[in-house]
Chain A
Amino acid sequence: MLPENDWLAFSFFSPQQEWPRFLDVLDGFLNSGAIKPLMAMRIIKFSQLYGSNIRLFVQATAGQSPLLLAELQAFFANNFPLQIIPGRHGQTPAGNREMLMIRVLLSDLMIKAFCTEPVNDETLLTVALYLQFALLKDKKAAKTILSSFAGTAIFIDDRFLCASQLEEEYIANCEFLHEIKSHLEGNQFAVLPSWLPPWLAGYEMILRSIPEHRLPAFCRSTLYSVIKQLGLSVSLVTRLEYYIKKSAQAETVKN
């Protein structure tokens, strides 16, 4: 049997410095009057596999796949002729409806966050931290996520990062982490980055639709999607994990 798969996939290969321009131009194109009616949703993913690249998955509205493909090919040929290769088909980008929605939301956030900002370790980690702390805003989700950490050690691969360096970095960033948390907890939208509120609204709406017994799986998948779509490296994943765990521990001690 063949899967229902109207996804069109492309990979944009270029140095990371060029990514903001690509995202900006792509966003303008996908939101243009000619393309919008042809497209149901879009997902992007940052990747370092086979060279730094952005993977793009676009799902056509019913029956519009050939036309959308032609439009995309023409757009890429005119704007990025040497950097685009067709992606491998055969896999839709998510296993269920909710995760698909999460990935679309994340893609919107990534385009907004990085079409003007450079993409580097610092900005990627900042976005990932905001997202992880945002996931902890909901009490049930927070309980699920933090209980999975409790009592387990964080694996630090010392080929990439050593424990003392990690602790030093955490101490240096403590104030910033506390700020993120308090802005999120206080719903201080005026001081939050502009790309975050739409994510918060969308994520909370999806979260409310998840039955309690599926909450652990949903939380795990969302955490994974953040790591996967932002294309976080081993050292960034470790930093993220360490900061969240230490912040949660500090909170527990304070309370």
Chain B
Amino acid sequence: MTYTAAALLGVAAALAVDLAVLRTRLVTRAVFWATYPIIVGFQLLSNGVLTGRDVVRYRPDAILGWRIASAPVEDLLFGFALVLFSLSVWVWLGRRGVQRTPAAQGRPRFTARRARPGASTATPAPPAPRSRDTRRAAS
């Protein structure tokens, strides 16, 4: 099998996990597609260094030979499978109650009173589910 075929299989497997196995359906969600271009940008940068400086070398007959930012196009498929699978597992664990909270707050620290982690004056994160989640995750 070539890297091209393996990468396509990897994408298919990651899609199957997201849509059918863990049923997180991230590829149907706006938040996933809003995140992914940012990730691809950084991937082109970091992978560009790795492949441009030949830290990783590819056997020419294992790839198509189409390159983007010096990386074989197959790496984009590999990266998609890696990122989708990782986010799918992350969301699935949260849905199962593993540390669903403290959720991301998204507010710059300067605009909100900063609470030290664990302080009793902690801001928004609802305390009740947090302890329940922690207990469930620990068991």
A binds B: no
